[in-house]
Chain A
């Protein structure tokens, strides 16, 4: 058990941005929300996965929607608690712990803000070990833990509790509700008992995000290579360091898809992305794929570059970071492998 204090949030946000693998949204808003909550209510208690009692009621809370919209239409501040209370009311259970559904991007910080507000402890872990775009793309799905019941709350005071036929339906219905209410809702779902956490979570990822954020900050202050500091900490493989010479984006069949070309000293790396970076090819050969993390960092500062902010002229270092081994099982790859995202490639493990 330890505490997260105000000064820790900056590092956690930076690390979460890196683990977002280009998605999950800019953690800046989540950082502000967590900082405001800690300033108002005090520090947050964090417990390790193996410290949680088996009968604990652990609830992931998150935002669902478009990060660009959240930047403009900021939350009301009551949504996360409203979603949590609606889920508690529906199930007759009282949450004992909160946890992030994903460590990548803004959603790593939303439960921290609610933990400060409610005084509930937060579990050091998350259900992806990165960021993925859809509600069913979580380890609990592989462990047979359903997304439903799912509580959704918006900024206008609407709440909804959903019992979907499957986790995939929960994703589809929640996304439609999100669009109908203005593209920025909060959710509480995928309720787990303490006994289920070892199957449902990647352990220690809040601490990992904080260590990554601190490593980048320190490297920068000491004029060392921040991307190397990240790679050292997570067995990362440097896929390229160079300049972005081309970015193509298109919306096909309702999905945003893009590619970015990075020219380094002796090779060219092509990144394919949707919401996250999903596939990397060096000189035509696939060198990294989802579910491994493909992360783009500003070479000079080590700050993460999201798919939405990827621009011609950016100077970036691209790292491949091994994803959780449960994702590279046949069932895991069916859920989040390159073919699910429409790429004609098998999963290819990172070559050291």
Chain B
């Protein structure tokens, strides 16, 4: 049995599921509790309630793994709080000096992470040959400088580290030999080709490393208090898992795991691997496409609090419509507006159906007879049901338009409705003939966390000689599979979910960037033996 938990901005959702493989996973209990500022208290409450709801005869000792998805680290960056002063050391001289580390950062965050950057020798060319030799003395001098400044955490990036991570590891070793307590984050473990973007991600990781330690401790203690001895795993941005011990080292890998979990959960609950997912929350509706059970990725660079990173996030279209959206000028058909502002997590105190004084979309859904949450107070009954249905109809149309913008084929497309706010939507949505609302859809995100897989990825530039393409691709596939297995996937369950092959423009001779991603089921036997799970060296 597994517990899946999703800590969102508004709610902390938790599910208890039985079954070892995807095919026989069943939901035994599901709860929804308010998120707390320290994350842990909300998680403790959710687990307590979950264990109370669990079937007769259930013992916490039967739990084999706990999976948590959290926005805590993203929020810390957005709010620039709890960040550790960090230095960044780039191995790339004589190249790269034109654009030193932290170029393009918003001033506030640059200051929050310590604004301390060093350019050193090292790095590789695109074909893996040395750009320049690592200079140990230069690194020792840098280490002395870090020690004098009291820097506790450092990001190390090297040119073409995704092709070869050796120099970053050697540099980390030299730095730690000089300053033993220094925490080192290496870029080859955190991102893809694109130096500034990968380096940015590594700096964010280094700045979150102490917070990660504190959160990992608190969550581990919380589980122990609840009598759960099972290993704890965290969701990463691509919907795969890492062990809590890896989370202490790679907290930034958890960014934006929420939409991925929600979409994967929707696919699982509905049993449809290819569909549009409409996730209605308290403030926004996120619309994404599931292809082969995994979210379609966004094409562009991902911006986190104004910082460019090159993580591929799910391609999600967000509308300012949610269960808590404010509804204005309800009676005046021409002027009625829904959102984008929302009562958010205060829905259960501010909405009319919960005794508050604010007209929200949830109230309109109750007035329309569409939803039955809260209490049908006299105040709510005053709103005309036909008008309420018309408002919901307009909201449905906006959502249907957005689904249409996301789809890539005119073929009929199943649409899966999930999220706590999805009760505001009618079952019939114009233009979407096949709408499904699976059981437990309000906790799809927690289910997505519970069924998350383990992945391995590689990204490099290779020379593809004429006629050698198949061999090169086969090697890349095999390596991605091996990486997934070494990260904790059960051998035999690993499949390639994405393969991207782009010949480099303006370069003759078949140099091709190849990116392969493989995922497999979490090997629960291995988790039981406490072998670490995660995706180092992606």
Which A residues form the contact surface with B (CB < 8 A)? 23, 25, 29, 32-33, 36, 64-69, 71-77, 133, 155-157, 175, 179, 182-184, 243-245, 249-256, 263, 274-275, 300, 303, 305-309, 311-315
What separation, in Å, do the CA atoms of A189 and B90 have in the docked complex? Answer: 32
Selected from B95, B103, B131, B510, the residue in CB contact (under 8 A) with A251 is B510
Q: Are B94 and A251 in contact (CB under 8 A)?
A: no
What is the interface of chain B mostly: helix, strand, loop, or mixed? loop
Contact of B94 with A73 in the complex, beta carbons under 8 Å: no
Contact of B125 among A73, A157, A244, A306 (CB under 8 A): A73
| 7 closest residue pairs by CB, A with B | A77-B98, A256-B503, A155-B95, A66-B507, A74-B96, A182-B125, A66-B504
- A311 — nearest CB in chain B belongs to which residue? B299
Complex partner residue of B97 from A68, A77, A243, CB under 8 angstroms: A77
Q: What are 5 of the A-B contact pairs (CB < 8 Å)?
A: A66-B505, A73-B195, A76-B96, A155-B95, A251-B512
Q: Are A36 and B289 in contact (CB under 8 A)?
A: no
Report the separation of the CA atoms of residues A274 and B407 in the bound assembly, to the nearest whole angstrom.
27
Q: Decide: A67 near B126, CB < 8 A? Known: A73-B131, A245-B408.
A: no
Q: Quote the shortest CB–CB distance from B307 to chain A (angstroms).
A: 14
Question: What's the Cα separation between A263 and B123 when bound, in Å?
Answer: 43
Q: Tell me whether A254 and B296 are in contact (CB under 8 A).
A: no
- The yes or no answer to B464 lying at the interface (CB within 8 A) is yes
Establish whether residues A72 and B160, one from each chain, have CB atoms under 8 Å apart when the complex forms: yes
Closest B residue, CB atoms, query A29? B99
CB <8 Å contact, A76 and B95: yes
- In the assembled complex, the Cα of A286 lies from the Cα of B501 at a distance in Å of 27
Assess A72 versus B503: contact at CB under 8 Å? Given A77-B98, A156-B94. no
Q: State whether B408 touches A68 (Cβ < 8 A).
A: no
Of A29, A155, A254, the most chain B CB neighbours within 10 A belong to A155
- The answer to whether A68 and B504 touch across the interface, beta carbons within 8 angstroms, is yes
Q: Is the CB of A68 within 8 A of B513?
A: yes
Q: With the chains together, A194 CA to B222 CA distance in Å?
A: 75
Check if B99 sits within 8 Å of A313, measured CB to CB: no
Query: Which residues of the partner chain B approach A309 to less than 8 Å between Cβ atoms?
Result: 299-300
In the complex, A64 Cα to B507 Cα: how many Å?
Answer: 10
What's the nearest-Cβ distance from chain A to residue B186, in Å? 16
Indicate if the CB atoms of A315 and B405 lie closer than 8 Å.
yes
B interface residues (Cβ-Cβ under 8 A, vs A): 92, 94-99, 103-104, 123, 125-126, 131-132, 159-160, 193-196, 289, 296, 299-300, 315, 405, 407-410, 461, 464, 466, 469, 501-513
- Decide: A69 near B505, CB < 8 A? Known: A29-B99, A245-B409, A313-B289: no
Inter-chain contacts of A69 with B (CB < 8 A): 126, 461, 504, 507
Distance in angstroms from A127 CB to nearest chain B CB is 17
Q: Is the CB of A72 within 8 A of B126?
A: yes
Report the minimal beta-carbon distance from A141 to chain B, rounded to whole angstroms.
18
| B98→A72 contact, CB < 8 A | no
Q: A69-B507, A182-B131, A275-B505 are in contact. Are A36 and B408 (CB under 8 A)?
A: no
How close is B319's CB to chain A, nearest CB, in angstroms? 13
Q: Which of A33, A74, A183 lies in contact with B507, CB distance below 8 A?
A: A183
A335 to B422, CA, bound (A): 59
> Would you call A254 and B408 a contact (CB within 8 A)?
no
User: When A65-B507, A249-B501 are in contact, do A32 and B99 touch as well, CB less than 8 Å?
Assistant: yes
Q: Judge whether A72 and B408 touch: CB under 8 Å.
A: no
Contact call B503/A251, Cβ cutoff below 8 A: yes
Q: Is A175 in contact with B508, judged by CB distance below 8 angstroms?
A: yes
Q: Which residues of B contact A179 (CB under 8 A)?
A: 507-509
> Chain A residues near B194 (CB, 8 Å)?
71-72
B103 partner residues in chain A, CB cutoff 8 A: 32, 36
Residue in chain A with minimal CB distance to B310: A71
| A263 CB contacts on chain B under 8 angstroms | 408-410
Task: Kindly list chain A residues whose C-beta atoms are within 8 Å of the C-beta of B405.
Answer: 300, 315
A74:B299 contact, CB within 8 angstroms: no
Docked Cα-Cα span, A183 to B163, in Å, equals 15
> Which A residues are CB-close (under 8 A) to B509?
179, 254
Closest to A315 in B: B405
A133 touches B506 (CB 8 A): yes
Is A256 in contact with B98, judged by CB distance below 8 angstroms?
Answer: no
Cross-interface CB contact of B99 among A33, A157, A250, cutoff 8 Å: A33
Contact residues in B for A29 (Cβ distance below 8 Å): 99
A243 pairs with B505, CB closer than 8 A: no
Closest Cβ of chain A: how far from B504's Cβ, in Å? 4
On whether the beta carbons of A251 and B464 are closer than 8 Å, the reply is yes
- Complex CA gap A67/B96 in Å reads 14
Contact of A76 among B97, B104, B296, B506 (CB under 8 A): B97
Inter-chain CA distance A244–B96, complex, in Å, is: 35
* List of B residues within 8 angstroms of A311 by Cβ: 299
A249 and B160 within 8 A (CB): no
- Residues on A with C-beta less than 8 A from B123 are 73
Q: Report whether B507 and A312 are in contact in the complex, using a CB–CB cutoff of 8 Å.
A: no
Tell me the complex Cα distance, A66–B505, Å: 6
The complex places the Cα of A184 from the Cα of B92 at a distance, in Å, of 14
- By a CB distance below 8 angstroms, the chain A residues around B506 are 23, 25, 64-67, 133, 275
**Cα of A36 to Cα of B96 in the assembled complex, Å:** 13
CB contact under 8 A between A68 and B461, given known A183-B507, A256-B503, A308-B505: yes
